[in-house]
Chain A
Amino acid sequence: MLHRLRQEATWLNLLLLSGLVGLMVVLVMPLYSLFVRSLYNRRGEFVGLDNYLSYLTSGGITGSAWNSFWVAIVSMLIVVTFAFAAAYALSRTKIAGKGLVRLLLTLPILAPSLLPAISLIYLFGNQGILKHWLMGASIYGPIGIILGSVFWTFPHALMILLTALSQADARQYEAAQSLKASPWRTFWTVTIPSARYGLVSAAFVVFTLVITDFGVAKVIGGNFNVLATDIYRNVIGQQRFEMGAVIGVILLLPAILAFAADRWVQKKQAAALSARSVPYQPKDSLKTKILGFGLLTPSIFFILLVIGMAVYASFLTYWPYNRSFTLNNYDFVRFDPAGWTPYFNSLKMATMTMVIGTLMIFVNAWLVERCPQPKWLRNLYQLLALLPMAVPGLVLGLAYIFFFNHPQNPLNNLYGGLLLMAICSLVHFYSVAHLTSVTALKQLDPEFEAVGDSLKSSRTGLFARLTLPLSLPAILDVALYLFVNAMTTVSAVVFIYGHNSRLASIMIMSLEEAGGTAAAAALSVIIMLTCAAAKILHSLLMMLVNAKHNAWKGKVQTSQEKSSTAKSRKLAWLWRKAPANQGA
C-alpha cells in the first residue's frame, strides 16, 4: 500500500515536470528565440547590446517609456477607484438586480478591444455626439488611450476586488461598532486593510494590461507614442524584428517589477486570513441602497455609453453623413468574401483554447498546490506560469513564428493551424487562469490531504472525488475566461493564422483599416453577444453547482453536530460521503 503511494508521488512529480516542460516549449523557447534576435543586427551579425543602446539613445525611448508609464498609472488609478466602488456596492449593500448589474459590468471583457476605440471616436471625435464634454481637448492621444484602457480593463479589476471584498470578517465590523467608530473610520480601518491584497493585485493587473496593449493605442493614440506602438512601428512598419525584440524585452521590466511587488504583498497578507472568520452580511437599509446605487452609476453609465454607441454605429449607413438605419453591416459577405467563416473559426479556436487550457492549467495548479513537489520544481513552475502576463501579445506572436516555423522544429506543421493559435492564446492568458485556479485550491482545507494520507488513499483519488468537484466554480471561471479572451484576442494571433484559420477578431481589424468601420462595429457586437451568451451559460452552470454544494454543506453541518468535534473525523466523513453526493 505504502509502496503504491510512494510510486504515485514520483508519478505526480513527473506529471508536474511534464507540465513544466510543456510551458518551456510553448512559452520559454519561443521567447528565447526572439530574445536572441535582439542581440543581432539585421544582417544576422552578433552586436551584443548595440540594439538596446541605439533604441535608448534614439530619444524616442524616453518619450515612449514615460508615456507608457504615466498612461498606465493614470488608467490604473481610475480603474481601481471605480472598480472598488462597484465591488463595494455589489458586496456590501443590498441592491436589487445584482446579477444583471454584474453582467453589465463584465461586458467590456466580452468585446474586442477595437470596439471601445471605434466607439470613443464616434462619441468624442471630431464628429462626436458628446465632443463638447472634452472641452476642446482631443480624443486622439492620451485621453483616448486612457478612456479605452479604462473601459476594457475595468472587469479584470472588478473580478479581483469582488473576491477581495467578499471575504470580509463580520467580527471586525462588530468590534468597530462597539468601539463607536464612524462608518468612514470603519471603512478606512477595517474595509480597506482587509481588501489590501485585492487592491494591490488589481492595480498590478491593470497596469500590466495597459502597458502591454497596442490595440487601443494604435487606433486612437494619434501622435502619442507608447512602447507597444513602438513595437508595431518597428515590426510592421519597418520589419525590424530585432528592434521589436528589444522593446519587448524592455516592456518585460516594468511588468516584472509590478509582479515582484504583488508577490511581496501577497506574502504579507497570507497570515492575516483566519479560519474563524464570520461572513459579513450587508445591512438592508434605504441608506445603503442609495449608497450602492450611487457607487455603481458612474461605471454602468460609462460602459453602457461606449457599448451603446458601438451598437448604434453598427446600424448606420455611413457615419456621420448618412445616419439612416440599415442591417447591411451585418451582412459580412458584402465587405469580405470570407463572410461568416472567420466567426466560426473563432468559435472553434476559442473552444479549443478553453478545453485544452482549463485542463492543463487546473491540473498543473493542483499538482503545484495540493501535491508534494520538490521546492525548485514548484517555484520554477509558478514563475513560468506568471511570466505570460508580462509578455505583450505582439511579442508572443512574433516569437511563435520564429520558433514554430523554424525548419528544424518538429512541431512546424502546426504553424498556420487553429491548434497552434489556440495554444498561443492559452499561453497569452495563462497567468490569470493559473492565479484563479491556485486561489481556489488554496481555499480548500489543507487537512483534506492529511486525512486522505492517513486513510491511505491516493492523491489522484482525492482529486477526482473531492478536489475537482469542490473546485468546479473556479474551473468554470477559468473556462469562461479563456473562451472570451480567445474570442476577442488579436495581437498574438495576427502573425500565425493561415489561409483557412483567419479569425473574426483579425477580420475586424482589416475591416476597420479599410474604412468598413460600421461592419467592424457590427462584427464586434456579434462577438460580444456570443461571449455574453457564454457568460449566461456559465452563470446557469454556476447556480447548479452552488445549489449542489449548498445541499452538501448542509449535510456536513448536521453530521458535525452529531459527531465528535474532532476535525479529522469530520473530514474523514466528508471524504467518504463526498463521492456519493456528487453522483446525486
Chain B
Amino acid sequence: MNLKALSALSLAAVAGFAAAQTELTVYTAIESDDLAKYAARFNQDHPEIKINWVRDSTGVITARLMAEKDRPQADVIWGLAASSLMILDAEDMLLPYAPVGYEELSPQFRDSSNPPSWTGMNAWMAAICFNTIEAQKHGLTAPTSWQDLTKPEYKGHIVMPNPASSGTGYLDVTSWLQMFGEEGGWEFMDALHDNIKNYTHSGSRPCVNAAQGEAVIGISFAFRGAQEKQRGAPIDLIFPSEGLGWDMEATAIVKGTSKLEAAQTLVNWTVTRQANELYNEGYAIVAMPGVAKPVQYFPENAAELLIDNDFAFAATQRDRILGEWQRRYEGKETR
C-alpha cells in the first residue's frame, strides 16, 4: 500500500470518526426493551449518527417536553403518541418537515398541515385483556363487545385507566363518545362505572393487572396485552366488535435543534420500508401500505376494526370531556 492510499484511508477513518460524533437526543415512549433494536436498525444505514435516548412513559415524556419548552433538550421525537405531538404542535414546538417518501404513507398517518409537523409510524389500539383462568374461577364468559362490559356479571372485575392520568384512558373515552354519540357514550360509561373495580393511573396497568390475576378484565392496549401473553400470562386479547379507539406513534423534529441535518436524516429513515418493517414486528398496522404482515395475537383484520378517529375532536374537547368525566366518576364509589 502506498503512502497516498494510506493517508486517504486514514483521512476517511478520521472523517468517519468525526461524523460518528453527531449525537442526537431523541425523546421517546417506545418500550425500553425495543430501543436498542430501533437504534441498531437505524445505524445499519446511518452509522454516522448516534442516538441518545431519553425514554419514559407517554405522560412523563410529554410533560417534560412541555416543561422544557423554553430551552428544548430533544432534537427529535421518535415514537410518541400523535395526540401528544398535536399538543406540542399547538404550542409551536415542532419544526414542520416532510420526510422523503412522505407521500407514500397511508393518508391517516399524515398530518393535515403542509409541510407536516409530525409523521405517523404505526397505530396502537385499544384492546381488552381477559384473564381466562380467573374468568373460569368466577364463571364468567368472555365479552365480545364494549356494551358486553356493562353486564352485571362483570361487576367488580374490570379495571381501566383514569383518562385524566393516562392517554390510553382518554383514548378509550373519546372513542366511546365517537362510536356511541355524546349521550350514548356517557350512558355507556355510567353503566361501565358500576362494574369498575378501580381506575389506574397508568394505561398499561389494567392489562398487567389482568395478566397477574388482580382483575379479570383490563381495558388497555393491544401491544401490552400481546407482550404479557408472550411472557406467559393466561390472557386472551379481545377486540370489541363496535370498533377500537386508536392513536398512532409518530415522529417529529423539535424546533430549535442545532442538528437539523442529522435530525432530518433520522426522520427520513423513519418512513423507509426498513423502518416500517421494524414497526411491524410489534404493531399490526404501520404507515406504509402493503408492508404489514399479521402480528401474533393481533386480529388479521385489525385495520378494519379501527374507528374513524377524529383527533381534532379529542384534542379540542379535552378539558370539557375530562371535566365531565371527573365530575361523574372521580373519587366516587361504584354502586
Contacts and interface: CB of A to CB of B under 8 A. Distances in A.
B32 interface: yes
Interface string B167-210: 00000000000000000000000000000011101101101100
A237 B67 contact: no
Interface string B226-244: 0110011110000000000
Given A320-B213, A515-B224, A58 B73 contact: no
Nearest to B66: A239
A64 B331 CA distance: 8
A126 B215 contact: yes
Contacts of B232: 317-318, 321-322
A1 to B, nearest CB: 53
Given A317-B232, A318-B231, A337-B32, A233 B201 contact: yes
Interface string B128-161: 0000011000000000000000000000000000
A500 B52 contact: yes
Interface centre among A237, A318, A402, A498 (most CB of B within 10 A): A237
B212 A236 contact: no
Contact of B214 (A121, A335, A494): A121
Nearest to A515: B208
Contacts of A494: 56, 60
Contact of B331 (A223, A232, A407): A223
Interface residues of A, number: 61
B330 interface: yes
B33 A337 contact: yes
A282 interface: no
A243 to B, nearest CB: 11
A412 B71 contact: yes
Interface in A87-121: 121
B100 interface: no
B25 interface: yes
Contacts of A241: 63, 66-67
A67 B54 CA distance: 35
A322 B228 CA distance: 13
A60 B59 contact: no
Contacts of B64: 401, 495
Instruction: Using C-beta atoms within 8 Å of the partner chain, give the interface range for chain B.
Output: 35 or more
B233 A405 contact: no
A336 B62 CA distance: 21
B73 A513 contact: no
Interface string B66-90: 1110110100000000000001000
Contacts of A233: 162, 164-165, 201
Contacts of A398: 67
Contacts of A283: none
Contacts, number: 145
Contact of A60 (B233, B234, B330): B330
Contacts of A498: 54, 73
A402 B231 contact: no
Nearest to A58: B326
A515 B207 contact: yes
B211 interface: yes
A320 B207 CA distance: 15
Interface string A545-562: 000000000000000000
Given A320-B212, A321-B213, A510 B71 contact: no
A416 B73 CA distance: 9
A510 B28 CA distance: 13
A318 B233 contact: yes
Contacts of B46: none
A63 interface: yes
A402 B69 CA distance: 9
Interface string A160-174: 000000000000000
A515 B227 contact: yes
B32 A126 contact: no
Contact of B62 (A225, A239, A511): A239
B278 interface: no
B55 interface: yes
Contact of B63 (A125, A236, A335): A236
Contacts of B33: 334-337
A235 interface: yes
Interface string A417-433: 00000000000000000
Given A239-B62, A322-B232, A416-B73, A336 B32 contact: yes
A314 to B, nearest CB: 15
Interface centre among A63, A141, A318 (most CB of B within 10 A): A318
Contacts of A348: none
A583 interface: no
A223 B164 contact: no
A114 to B, nearest CB: 13
Given A127-B212, A239-B62, A510 B57 contact: yes
Given A317-B232, A401-B67, A60 B57 contact: no
B25 A499 contact: yes
Nearest to A412: B71
Interface in B290-329: 318, 322-323, 326-327
Interface string B25-66: 100000111011000000000000000111111011011101
A317 B234 CA distance: 13
A517 B331 contact: no
A322 B234 CA distance: 10
Contacts of B224: 514-515
Interface centre among B33, B197, B211 (most CB of A within 10 A): B33
Contacts of A235: 63
Interface string A237-250: 11101000000000
B272 interface: no
A338 interface: yes
B32 A338 contact: yes
B331 A60 contact: yes
Nearest to A241: B67
Given A239-B66, A499-B54, A515-B224, A319 B327 contact: no
A218 interface: yes
B331 A225 contact: yes
B166 interface: yes
A335 B53 CA distance: 16
A140 B198 contact: yes
A229 interface: yes
Interface in A203-257: 218, 222-225, 229, 232-233, 235-239, 241
Interface in A16-63: 58-60, 63
A415 interface: yes
Interface string A292-327: 000000000000000000000000011111100000
Given A59-B327, A337-B33, A515-B227, A495 B201 contact: no
A185 interface: no
Contacts of A510: 32, 55-57
Contacts of B66: 239, 241
A567 interface: no
A442 interface: no
A406 interface: yes
Given A499-B25, A515-B228, A236 B165 contact: yes
Given A499-B25, A514-B31, A229 B201 contact: yes
A428 B325 CA distance: 35
Contacts of A320: 212-213
Q: What are the 7 A-B residue pairs with the smallest beta carbon separation, nearest first?
A: A337-B36, A499-B52, A237-B165, A236-B59, A222-B198, A515-B208, A336-B32
Given A223-B333, A405-B71, A514-B227, 15 more contacts: A58-B326, A223-B331, A232-B165, A233-B164, A237-B201, A239-B66, A321-B233, A337-B32, A406-B71, A407-B71, A415-B71, A416-B73, A498-B54, A515-B207, A517-B208
Interface of B: 25, 31-33, 35-36, 52-57, 59-60, 62-64, 66-68, 70-71, 73, 87, 133-134, 162, 164-166, 197-199, 201-202, 204-205, 207-208, 211-215, 224, 227-228, 231-234, 318, 322-323, 326-327, 330-333
5 contacts: A58-B326, A127-B212, A239-B87, A320-B213, A336-B33
